[in-house]
């Protein structure tokens, strides 16, 4: 029996599925998800494998993550959907759209390009692995330990949202840190080199982010010939959280365009 990704569903109307980024979870998209739901969408906020409340597995690459999403659509009887993916979720969304173009009617990729990214989260992984979860008393305690490795309070807050209590009421991480620590190369991997998606596609990049540059336009159009690239002002890599108003405005205009 196939394992199905955990999700929450908001609103009624046209299907819209949203895939979070590395070390994130569906909660990161609740604010925007609620707004989409208020504007005529049935929004599926989804935890990818080894993240949030979804199942843990040693298998982790973009073909596998795309298969997870296909199983999710089939389980929820969704024939085709609008799809948003951020960062790692953007890679999953790209791979899925290329592999199953008939299941995606509009595609938005948030601050990631179809290219290889060298592993660059090692400082975060090292910091998370250094936290002694066996004796953890509070989120504040975890923050003090993480501060030794990560100075940015916003990034620490984002990561520590993943703390939860297990059946024994002990604090632990929702994500599968052991597997994700081993799969850094796969997380930076590109989608399959010859794949393409000919449907309507919008790439949104943060103006303060270096993830998508002008030099990436050629490779974007090689894989997504109908893609447009737009910039979100005053935003870095977490553009949907840093400027949600403009992210929503640009995405809704794209979804509503015939």
* Displacement of CA 73 from its chain's centroid (Å): 17
Say which residue the tokens 């403009």 belong to.
246
Whether residue 251 lies in the annotated active site:
no
User: Active site residue: 20, 237, 242, 251, which one?
Assistant: 237
Whether residue 123 lies in the annotated active site:
no
* Displacement of CA 112 from its chain's centroid (Å): 10
- C-beta neighbour count of 102 within 10 angstroms: 9
- C-beta neighbour count of 48 within 10 angstroms: 26
User: Active site residue: 12, 38, 79, 178, which one?
Assistant: 178
What three-state secondary structure class fits 203?
strand
User: Active site residue: 87, 99, 209, 251, which one?
Assistant: 87
How many helices (H) and strands (E) would you count in the chain?
11, 9
Whether residue 79 lies in the annotated active site:
no
Pairing state of beta strands 41-46 and 14-19? parallel
CA distance 102 to 125: 37
Q: What residues are annotated to the active site?
A: 87, 178, 237
């Amino acid at each position: 029996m196939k394992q199905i990704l955990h999700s929450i569903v908001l609103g009624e109307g046209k299907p819209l599925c949203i895939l979070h980024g590395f070390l994130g979870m569906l909660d990161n998209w609740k604010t925007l998800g609620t707004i989409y739901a208020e504007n005529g969408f049935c929004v599926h906020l989804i935890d990818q494998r080894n993240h949030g409340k979804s199942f843990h597995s040693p298998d982790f690459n973009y073909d596998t993550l795309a298969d997870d999403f296909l199983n999710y659509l089939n389980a929820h009887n969704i024939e085709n959907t609008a799809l948003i993916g951020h960062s790692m979720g953007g890679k999953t969304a790209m791979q899925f759209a290329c592999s199953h173009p008939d299941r995606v009617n509009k595609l938005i990729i948030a601050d990631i390009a179809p290219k290889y990214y060298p592993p660059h989260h090692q400082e975060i992984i090292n910091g998370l692995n250094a936290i002694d979860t066996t004796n953890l008393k509070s989120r504040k305690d975890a923050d003090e330990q993480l501060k030794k490795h990560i100075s940015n309070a916003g990034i620490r807050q984002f990561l520590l949202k993943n703390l939860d209590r297990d059946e024994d009421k002990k604090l632990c991480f929702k994500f599968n840190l052991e597997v994700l620590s081993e799969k850094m190369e796969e997380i930076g991997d590109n989608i399959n080199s010859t794949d393409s998606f000919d449907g309507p596609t919008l790439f949104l990049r943060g103006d303060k982010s270096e993830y998508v540059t002008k030099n990436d336009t050629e490779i974007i159009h090689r894989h997504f010939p109908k893609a447009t690239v737009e910039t979100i002002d005053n935003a870095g890599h977490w553009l949907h959280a840093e400027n949600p108003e403009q992210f929503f405005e640009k995405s809704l205009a794209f979804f509503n365009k015939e």
